[in-house]
Structures are given as structure tokens and as C-alpha cells.
Amino acid sequence: MFWRFSSLRGQRLHATDGEIGKVDDFLFDDATWTIRYLVADTGGWLSGRRVLIVPASIGETRDGEEDLPVSLSKSQIENSPPVGSDQSVSRQHEEALHGHYGWLPYWSGAAQATGTINDERGDFGVPLGEAEEKNGGDPHLRSMSEVEDYHVSASDGPIGHVEDFLLDPEGWSVRYLLIDTRNWWPGKRVLVAPQWIDRMDWSAQEVHATLTRDRIKACPEFDSDMAINRSFEERLYRHYDKIPYWA
């Protein structure tokens, strides 16, 4: 089952001993489309301080549930290295953060197997790649909120904009981008897998897909009231003549 980013954003987060805030954002690797961090807004508890939590610390829940469990204590989070909205996150800060929680750093390689991976984010409102140039971290880390509303182009012209993301909690990856095509034809919303994206133009805020507009127009339509099951995915991959990720 996939989780929608829009459904998770704003959900309450519960540590092992109490509420710690709400989901504010997710940071993902634009090369692998793996989710690196959940960004938590601590609200009144820590005066709105935002903290980074690796997906491996998030417990089992269901899309749309009111709370997300986190396997950390409030004391651990309160005493973690601070991340301000107006400061960069350097490699030194990353090392301190991972050391504080005992997380394996993503640059060790072993972190890929455990899900304990990193953030190299600067100001939470700017593209991570720009912050990385100053701090020598991972240039591929991006904010999901940043990519929302990016324009989307097929191989032969524009088709719409990014409306949402469908996340796979098995391995914590971005499984699909939900594209709203209402600017091209009325009402239809479609799913595009990251593997079908040719490139991201960060300065122009554009997503460029390898698919044609006609192929996208004829694809199975996404219905928000319908569960995305394997049967739907099989139809989608057959339509685009793509090798399924589960094969």
C-alpha cells in the first residue's frame, strides 16, 4: 500500500513517550528517489524547531491515520543537534546528528540496507543542491514540498504539474509522481514513475518525462478513491510497455 505525501503532511508524530510535533516535509534523493529524512515541525514543544528523522525510526501505520509513531524518545529529539530554518546543514552537523542517534551514516554504504540515511539540506526553503555547493554534502537531496507544483513536460510538450507523491513504505521510496493534467485536458490525473523521468530542471522548476503526450493521455486514470493495487500497476506498466519494478 502506498502513502500519499499530502495525507502524511500535517499528521501528528508520537515519540515513545509523547507527541513531538507534525510531519512538515520529506527529503529525497533525486538520483535514486529514496526518502532520506522526514522533517518534523515540533510546534510549541520546541518553539517550532524542525528536526530530521530517518524513515527507519518511523513505526508501522496506515495512510490517513491520525498519528505516526516514532521510535525515539522526546529527550533524544530535544537534545539532538539543532537544525534551524535559516542555517545550512554541513557534513559536520550530519556527523553530529548521526552520532547522537546512533544512526549509520549514509556515506558508509551500510546505511542503505538499514534505512538510516542522511539529509544534506540547507535553508528548508531553498533547493538542496544550492546549499550543497556551500557545504560539500549530497547534491541530490531535495525537498518534496519544493517539487510540488513543478511543471511537467512529456517528450513532446507540456502536460501539467506535480500534484502529489505516492510513497512506498517498503524501502521508503517515491514510487509515483501524481500529475494533474488539467492545464492540458480537463480533469485527468495520472501517475508517472520516477524511472520514466528523463531529467529535472531545478532552476526552471520543471520535470521532463520520457513519455509522449498521447501515451500519457491514453493511460489508466488515477482515481483518489481507488486503492492503487498490483492489478492497476500491471495495467499502467503494460500501457507504457515498461518493465515493472517488482519483476
Percent of the chain scoring above 70 in pLDDT: 81
Q: How confident is the model at residue 27 (pLDDT cuts 50, 70, 90)?
A: confident
Percent of the chain scoring above 90 in pLDDT: 55
pLDDT at 226: 82
CA distances from 122 to 33, 132, 133, 220 (A): 19, 7, 10, 38
Q: Are 135 and 142 in contact (CB under 8 A)?
A: no
pLDDT at 61: 67
pLDDT at 185: 78
Give the pTM.
Answer: 0.84
User: Same topology for domains 3-144 and 148-240, yes or no?
Assistant: yes
CA distances from 83 to 10, 160, 190, 211 (A): 19, 34, 36, 39
Looking at domain 148-240, which CATH architecture does it have?
Answer: Alpha-Beta Complex (3.90)
pLDDT at 29: 87
pLDDT at 224: 86
Three-state DSSP class for 3?
Answer: strand
> Taking residues 34-54, what's their average pLDDT?
89
**Every domain of the chain and the residues it spans:** 3-144, 148-240
**Which CATH code for domain 3-144?**
3.90.50.10
pLDDT at 62: 58
